[in-house]
Amino acid sequence: MARKASLSGFPELLPEERLVENHVLDTLRETFELHGFSNIETRSVETKEQLLRKGEIDKEVYGISRLLDENSTTKSEKEQLALHFDLTVPFARYVVENAGYLNFPFMRYQMQKVWRGERPQDGRFREFTQADVDVVGDGALPFRYDVELALVVIESLRKLEIGDFKLRVNNRKLSEGFYRGIGLDDTAGVLRSIDKLEKIGPDAVAQLLKDELGASDEQAQAALNLAQICTEDTSFVNEVKKLGVEHALLEEGLRELEEVVGQAAKRAPGNIVADLSIARGLDYYTGTVYETVLVGHEKLGSICSGGRYESLASNGKRNFPGVGLSIGVTRLVSRIISQKMAEPTRKVPSAVLIALTSDQTWSDAQDVADSLRQRGIACEVSATAAKFGKQIKFAEKRGIPFVWFVSTKEDGSLKHEVKDIRSGEQIEADPQHWAPSTEDLHVRIEAAQ
């Protein structure tokens, strides 16, 4: 990812960088499944009508058609195809179409590429991988899943050893109830203004509230006072109450956020933050909202975000509420690689290079390789019988720790020796029983010291 891309916004990785990405994906997959989530994959293509159902983002959607399709411009949105720009919209369609085959609450995770026509910059790409984890219900969804999602994501990111991070949590009911309590009924408009707080600052946000929503100085200041509350425990409840605003929706949001933060702080202290400036400007969020930042890399933006939506999808007769989070895998991996936050212990999967003493020993070397591979030891065989020093150098460049030598004894039997090229130690070895240490068996991704 450090190389100059020939197509801007479409990243490609070197083999050792791909090892880091695979480690991230494998860790997420393992953690999601430990919590009971099932994996699905949806198609990359949706109809334009389906993709634009949740908002006007047509400038970011990549349409697709056959190069010689003369009717592509006259087709209706139901007929026009486009690449999905996230995994939530395809998931909503998937739930509706397969509702009769799913058990609810349905817990799914999904890791796929998505495409978005954004201006490429640090952390933003046109083609990138997302990892989504959601729970969706049929008609209703217990609130406890909002807590579960926070714990799943915290556990996943902790396992990646990416340094300190903060899962910032708020609740739309809390915010909307507060705004109604101070007389601002256009709560969606207030949320969109508050969502710009980190970009333009409190003074500019206050002016937006007054100019666009007709807020008084007192109302604008009250909205900012709420947004400035940020605690790592449930003490935010008292801070909100001190503001003296009352509304039933506010009370409901306070109770829900208190449960999320209380449980997460108990199990993952230091990683959860009640941050009442988090607005998530998208209209479909209805309760808990999440954003995650890497400490020291805040300018990268959120690496994981999401929230509760009371209507993920509907087929007219049934409504499917849900709660979910999306991890920007490519954004996260790009920062891990560029900042050397974690690195693979070697560039290739192979733990052993089987050297050739002569071209005639290639078949014997393959026998050794077969024996090692049958026992789960990744290895490769030299293609030519170059000088041993050159073969060892080849292994060294790739980070392969062991070189295996096969020679013929005076009685015609084969002699096997394996050399640890890091220490120089060389010992006789039996292909049927020898194995590297647990640490050397597989590539490991190690956090920077």
Binding residues for L-histidine: 86-88, 116, 130, 134, 280, 284-285
pLDDT score of 268: 86
pLDDT score of 71: 66
pLDDT score of 239: 97
CB 172 within 8 A of CB 286: yes
Strand 402-408 to 414-420 pairing: antiparallel
pTM: 0.89
pLDDT score of 162: 87
Q: Where are the domains of the chain?
A: 15-41+85-344, 45-83, 352-447
Ranges of residues in the chain with a pLDDT under 50 are none
For the residues of 353-402, what is the DSSP string, one character each?
EE--SSGGGHHHHHHHHHHHHHTT--EEE-SS---HHHHHHHHHHHT--E
pLDDT score of 92: 92
The predicted-structure confidence for 205-256, as pLDDT tens digits, reads as follows 999 999 999 999 999 999 999 999 999 999 999 999 999 999 999 999 999 9
CB 46 within 8 A of CB 93: yes
Q: Could you please state the CATH topology (level 3) that the domain comprising 352-447 is classified under.
A: Rossmann fold (3.40.50)
CB 160 within 8 A of CB 273: no
- DSSP annotation of 128 reads E
Detail the DSSP E strand segments found in 98-250. Answer: 106-115, 127-136, 165-171, 230-231
Strand 402-408 to 352-354 pairing: parallel
The predicted-structure confidence for 28-76, as pLDDT tens digits, reads as follows 999 999 999 999 999 999 998 888 875 555 668 898 888 877 666 666 7
What span, in angstroms and rounded, lies between the C-alpha atoms of 120 and 262? 38
Binding residues: 86-88, 116, 130, 134, 280, 284-285
Which tokens sit at 346?
Answer: 């070697």
pLDDT score of 284: 75
Residues paired with residue 82 on neighbouring β-strands, in sequence order: 46, 63
Within 8 A by CB and 6+ apart from 293, the residues are 165, 166, 168, 300, 301, 302, 303
pLDDT score of 123: 79
CATH no. for 15-41+85-344: 3.30.930.10
